[in-house]
Copies of this chain bind each other. A is one copy, B any other.
Amino acid sequence: MDKNFGGFKGILIIGLGLIGGSLALSLKKEGFKGKIYGFDLNKERIKTAEKIGAIDEGFSSFEEIPWEKIDLIVLATPVKTFLNIAKEIKPYLKEKTIITDVGSVKGELVKKLQDILKPFKFIGAHPIAGTEKEGVENAVVGLFKNKKLILTIENEDEDTKRLEELWTDLGSKVEVMDPELHDFVFASVSHLPHAVAFALVDSIISLSKETGLDLFLYPGAGFKDFTRIAASSPGVWKDIFLQNKKDVLHTIDEFINSMEKLKKYIEKEDEESLLKILEESREKRLSLE
């Protein structure tokens, strides 16, 4: 069966980073028949996106964009820029254009975007995919295949179904979730682990200074895997931590509790409790395989 990608004719992707670039490239390479337009302030990124065949045409100014040809807009810039971009593009939008995003933070932000963009429809979306690399130059065809795609909507309608079809045709497994719950879930399983990875590397920098020996010369088994995500974009993650501040702080507190618990068991040499916490964690982790 031919893929229809929600029947969109012209898609504008704002922000040609890793996710926006991979979305554009995957659409082009996996059979999307319409046009893909790219917007990025960085002209090098536009050139790259054109060169690798991710977009049909790129722009660095909103004025130049052929808005009448666009029926779907995807916000793929850092989340903190979303509100300003929404305000800037609103005057240009043609009737029935749908706006969506690929950001990691929903909750309040989605409500604000919906208010700003009214009467146009904003539908929050979050592909659970990525690598620690940045930019369209690292775009991956099929990045979203077999990955979850969270739509943060309350009710399905024709528009949300079109967007769902687009992502399903890219191979994503679409799941609907309340925006507030979304932020708590991803604070726990994504934002917290990133914070932990950054903090772990930071503490080993401090320990290296303390001992006068570059401890990074001795990466033990698993250490590289474990800290790989600390190589993720500092700018992107600073914004995510701040945009999802409440939930991120809550999960950090919960994690520090777990760390203090482990510390207490080691201090008291409480073998039984120590073994129990390690066994429970192991069992839960193995269930992911």
Which residues of B sit under 8 angstroms from A218, Cβ to Cβ? Answer: 128, 148, 185-186, 189
For the residues of A in contact with B, the DSSP-based class is helix
B252–A199 CB distance below 8 A:
no
Contact of A225 among B195, B229, B266 (CB under 8 A): B229
B131–A221 CB distance below 8 A:
yes
Q: Are A199 and B258 also in contact (CB < 8 A) when A193-B222, A281-B205 are? A: yes
Q: Is A249 an interface residue (CB 8 A)?
A: yes
Q: Are A259 and B189 also in contact (CB < 8 A) when A131-B221, A205-B281, A266-B241 are? A: no
Q: Is A278 an interface residue (CB 8 A)?
A: yes
Q: Are A227 and B280 also in contact (CB < 8 A) when A186-B220, A203-B251 are? A: no
Q: Is A52 an interface residue (CB 8 A)?
A: no
A232–B282 CB distance below 8 A:
yes
Nearest CB in chain B to that of A201: its residue:
B281
Q: Are A259 and B148 also in contact (CB < 8 A) when A228-B226, A279-B234 are? A: no
B249–A206 CB distance below 8 A:
no
Expressed in whole angstroms, the Cα–Cα distance for A98 and B210 within the complex equals 35
Q: Is A284 an interface residue (CB 8 A)?
A: yes
Which residues of B sit under 8 angstroms from A221, Cβ to Cβ? Answer: 128-131, 190, 229
Hey, what's the 0/1 contact readout for A197-214 against B, CB within 8 Å counting as 1? Answer: 111111111111011010
Expressed in whole angstroms, the Cα–Cα distance for A219 and B285 within the complex equals 10
Expressed in whole angstroms, the Cα–Cα distance for A189 and B215 within the complex equals 7
Which residues of B sit under 8 angstroms from A234, Cβ to Cβ? Answer: 275, 278-279, 282
A255–B288 CB distance below 8 A:
no
Nearest CB in chain B to that of A262: its residue:
B199
Which residues of B sit under 8 angstroms from A269, Cβ to Cβ? Answer: 242, 245
Nearest CB in chain B to that of A230: its residue:
B285
Hey, what's the 0/1 contact readout for A246-265 against B, CB within 8 Å counting as 1? Answer: 00110111111111111100
A256–B245 CB distance below 8 A:
no
B252–A219 CB distance below 8 A:
no
Give chain B nearest CB distance to A106 CB in angstroms: 13
Interface CB pairs A-B, < 8 A, 10 = A148-B218, A199-B258, A203-B254, A205-B284, A216-B288, A225-B225, A226-B229, A238-B271, A245-B269, A259-B259
Q: Which residues of chain A have a CB within 8 Å of any CB of chain B? A: 128-132, 148, 181, 184-186, 188-190, 192-208, 210-211, 213, 215-216, 218-235, 237-238, 241-242, 245, 248-249, 251-263, 266-267, 269, 271, 274-275, 277-282, 284-289
